Chain A
Amino acid sequence: MKKLINKPEDLVPESLAGMAAAHSDLINVNYNPNYIVRADAPIQGKVGIVSGGGSGHEPMHGGLVGMGMLDAACPGEVFTSPTPDQMEAATKAVNGGAGALHIVKNYTGDVMNFEMAAELCLAEGIDVEAVVINDDVAVKDSLYTAGRRGVGITVLAEKICGAAAEQKQDLKKVADICRQVNANGRSMGMALTSCAVPSAGKPTFEIGADEMEIGIGIHGEPGRERMPLKTAREIVGIMSAAIISDLPFQSGDSVIVMVNGMGGTPLIELYLVFHELNEVCKGKGIKIVRQLIGNYITSLEMAGCSITLLKTNDELLKLWDAPVHTPALRWGV
């Protein structure tokens, strides 16, 4: 394992220190408990949008804190959910009297820690709604399992809910919008190589030079199927078919698309993936009205990508287009 680190246990705080130094105009970083808040938090009368999860997915979530998106992000250890005390402190720090929305990715640890945090916040008189994101079509959905993982749609939900909160919509409405985004979005990922958790010191999984993992999670958890490597066109074909048939997305639908890099895949390949996806969508009469291409929800140095489609409407599109100013996402300002 080769990494640009000092000591594995110092990676998260030292990286946070770098973010704080680089983006002091946008964010403030608190240590012990660790959280990142908008520089101008709390904003009176505005719903606080709080998210969090294990580190190693940068820029999500810390890089998405700022005007028009998250009010606070709680980074856990690498690939490990943050803890309730972080979430409680972050929620308090951004509470402007209008309550807070917790955007939670559907992983057992994240869900249970956010549940405990919400109990603590409620006990302090802060209104909290939690929405659990579960958009990964690679996982079979069932009432009897932990269900689908939360992946790419998280980024889109944070942008859209952040815009709604910025317009001072109330907590119930912002939470409804979040649920609507989750209900209309689907994603799937794939990996060419493994990632290595710094404190584990070695790759999370073995994968042959001529193999790929379809349906990979953002922590290197195996997905649907290990297969021989195929062309980008065939890979996008497999992923888009799984996504499109799941919602299902239909001819005439307008979609916001994210082609996301897992951390170790160059942009030249991500644009090629977008090209292939664009062809698939054209062929099916699905209209791509906005697109985001780049590394937004990563898995350390893993090579691979994920594709996210969100069926959109005028309301969601307006919120998507609203100004945003965060370290990793910026437009309209």
Chain B
Amino acid sequence: MVSQKKLRAWIEVLQKVYAENRQYLIDLDSAIGDADHGINMDRGFTNVQADLSKTDPPDIGAMLKTVAMTLIRTVGGAAGPLYGTFFLRASTACAGKTELQAADVVAMFEAGLAGVLQRGKAELNDKTMVDALSPALVAMKRALGNGSDFRQIIQQGAAAAEEGMKNTIPMLAKKGRASYLGERSIGHQDPGATSSYLLLKTAVDVWG
């Protein structure tokens, strides 16, 4: 189970995680993009942190909506609308809730991913964040179905995201800026898949 407090802790730690990984994400994006992904994520979650500290949302849905609107407003790039839509859909899935059971957490990720797919129209193996998020959801659903405990569910999600992230290295990019490189996008890890993996890894660290 995740309380509202723990969910908020996840978002707060994400700010630190993206600040610490700013240069790493910049470096990944310079290889196949425009070197701004680390800047975008750091700016977005720093603003989220500032906005959250000014509010006391009544439930998890409202809190995630603040996260979404701040990301949409301050991230820009591709990551802004994509992560913005992820958290907006996640917020709808958590409307009115003040704690989440394992099934609720999985439903939250499922709604978020559906938003990313609708907004970005990427498919699996296009070398995007979807390649980390989608396997993560599959793994979490499987673990939930197996009756695994909460910690195992999130852990397996993060492990699948990590594998998905690494699997982007040999892929040829078909969406986003990296697709302009064609063959030259091969051999590099996708920055968005990396930030998505960090999203799940941080959930394990904070909730586990």
Contact = CB atoms under 8 A, between A and B. Distances in A.
B62 interface: no
A221 B181 CA distance: 8
B34 A204 contact: yes
B120 A77 contact: no
Contacts of A204: 30, 34-35
A113 B39 contact: no
A80 B184 contact: no
Q: Looking at chain B, what size class is its interface with the partner chain?
A: 20 to 34
Contacts of B36: 77-80, 197, 200
A84 B33 CA distance: 22
A113 B176 contact: no
A263 interface: no
A80 B40 contact: yes
Interface stretch (A104-112, A168-176, A301-309): A104-112
B72 A221 contact: no
A108 B182 contact: no
Contacts of A205: 30
A113 B177 contact: no
Interface string B59-91: 000000000000011111111111010000000
B184 A81 contact: no
Given A140-B182, A146-B180, A149-B180, A83 B74 contact: yes
Given A79-B34, A83-B72, A146-B180, A113 B175 contact: no
A85 interface: yes
Interface residues of A, number: 37
Nearest to B39: A199
A145 interface: yes
Interface in A79-95: 79-85
A115 B40 CA distance: 19
A83 B180 CA distance: 22
A139 B178 CA distance: 11
B154 interface: no
Contact of A145 (B40, B76, B82, B174): B174
A80 B34 CA distance: 9
B120 A108 contact: yes
Nearest to B128: A108
A55 to B, nearest CB: 11
B73 A109 contact: no
Interface in A171-198: 197
Interface string A142-171: 001110010000000000000000000000
B34 A81 contact: no
| Residue among A77, A139, A146 with most chain B CB within 10 A | A146
Given A197-B35, A219-B34, A221-B180, A81 B77 contact: yes
B179 A145 contact: yes
A199 B119 CA distance: 28
A54 B36 CA distance: 11
Given A76-B76, A145-B175, A116 B81 contact: yes
A75 B74 CA distance: 13
A272 to B, nearest CB: 28
A204 B75 CA distance: 20
A99 interface: no
B28 to A, nearest CB: 12
A144 B127 CA distance: 12
Contacts of A323: none
Interface in A204-250: 204-205, 217, 219-223
A120 B82 CA distance: 16
B81 A146 contact: no
Interface of A: 33, 54, 76-85, 107-109, 112-113, 115-116, 138-140, 144-146, 149, 197, 199-200, 204-205, 217, 219-223
Given A83-B72, A146-B174, A221-B181, 13 more contacts: A80-B36, A80-B40, A107-B78, A112-B82, A113-B80, A145-B173, A145-B175, A145-B179, A197-B34, A200-B36, A200-B39, A205-B30, A222-B184
18 contacts: A76-B77, A78-B36, A79-B34, A80-B34, A84-B72, A84-B73, A108-B177, A109-B81, A112-B82, A112-B119, A112-B120, A113-B80, A115-B119, A116-B81, A197-B39, A204-B35, A219-B34, A220-B34
